[in-house]
Amino acid sequence: CYPVPLPRERGDGVCGEHQETLKLFCEEDQTPICVICRESRAHRAHTVAPIQEAAQDYLEAIATERETKRQKIVSEFQQLRQFLEEQERLLLAQLEKLDEAIVKIQNENVTKLSEEISHLSELIGEMEGKCQKPASEFLQVRLSEKHPISPHREGRISPELEVRLSDFSQKTIAVMETLRKFKVNVTLDPDTAHPILVLSEDWKSVRWGDTRQRLQDNPERFDSDPCVLGCEGFTSGRHCWEVEVGDGRFWAVGVARESVRRKGEMNCSPKGGIWAVRRWWGQFRALTSPVTPLPLSWAPSRIRVCLDCDRGQVTFIDAGDEAPIFTFPPASFNTERIRLWLQVWDPDTRLRLCP
């Protein structure tokens, strides 16, 4: 830290002792002095400089320190990005090998079961033939000794595959912990909220109101679709946040360009500057053009939105079990600010930004 040059005793730039203008700055004492102070015993042996020059040196020192810290932050994020990309490549390669191993085991089990079914069919046919013989001859036959029936063996994962699956799970957990470092705190922008929407006092949740509010019709406010944007905007780096959707039936969660249309009918797709997923009744859709149905076998209650500005990519994940929901194809954001975007269509739906 660098001390701030302050006038001595008085706050009007005048020496309190000699009533002279403070024109010099003493490096040793870190204080402004006048020309008479310069010749005094207290400052005669000290290094002094014109106060404007000292102030300029101070500003340059601050700028240098700020640039050093900025470069350090950029370097750390570059290292983190490289680490994540490398982990992604390794995990995808390992996952592909695991898929191959699982398919191989499945094929082997199918082959073994087919052979056993064939053997049992032959044995059943032989037993039916024996049943047609006289009782005295039938009782002399001990099929269990001639044709022992092997008990059904449940397919089990080999110990080696179990170890590989466990190792893959541990690595996945480690990467997810790293991804959580990109989590940001976002809030809703009341100046953009449609008049039918009601925001909480902390700007963390939104619901459908009972009546349309009388709000100022500013240029930022949506006036057609019941939408709201986040206060924060992002132009670079990776960022993620989570939205609790609960059991709401009519909502959409995603991101939008700063320039997204606010007035009149909207185009809720990447062409209109929106990347989002929607629930309408029990159907989930990605808002592509045309929409992409999402055949989810479950209803996520908390959705993680992952925004990669540098790659132009938006991904949605079920924050409950880390299951992927949908990833939009890479787009070009052109350094435009990208903001959180929410849409609520019924009174029973409440969307809340998770801490």
Residue 138, pLDDT above cutoff 60: no
What three-state secondary structure class fits 277?
strand
Burial 179-190 (b: 16+ CB within 10 A, else e): beebeeebebbe
Q: Are 236 and 309 in contact (CB under 8 A)?
A: yes
Query: What is the full DSSP assignment across 48-77?
Result: EEEHHHHHHHHHHHHHHHHHHHHHHHHHHH
Tokens of 203: 């700007």
Length of the chain: 355
Residue 114, pLDDT above cutoff 50: yes
- Predicted confidence at residue 182, as pLDDT, reads 79
Residue 311, pLDDT above cutoff 60: yes
Q: Average pLDDT of the chain?
A: 83
Kindly indicate the confidence band of residue 135, based on its pLDDT and cuts at 50, 70 and 90: low
Rounded to an integer, the average pLDDT of 199-214 is: 93
Bigger pLDDT: 112 vs 292? 292
Residue 274, pLDDT above cutoff 80: yes
Residue 221, pLDDT above cutoff 80: yes
Distance CA 244, CA 351 (A): 6
DSSP alpha helix (H) spans, 34-50: 35-39
Strand segments, DSSP code E, in 81-170 are none
Distance CA 149, CA 158 (A): 24
- Predicted confidence at residue 168, as pLDDT, reads 62
Least confident of 35-49, 198-212, 221-235: 35-49
Kindly indicate the confidence band of residue 261, based on its pLDDT and cuts at 50, 70 and 90: very high
Give the bridge partners for 49, in sequence order.
25
pLDDT in tens, 168-190: 665 565 555 555 567 899 999 99
Q: Are 83 and 139 in contact (CB under 8 A)?
A: no
Distance CA 335, CA 330 (A): 14
Residue 79, pLDDT above cutoff 90: no
Least confident of 55-69, 225-239, 248-262: 55-69
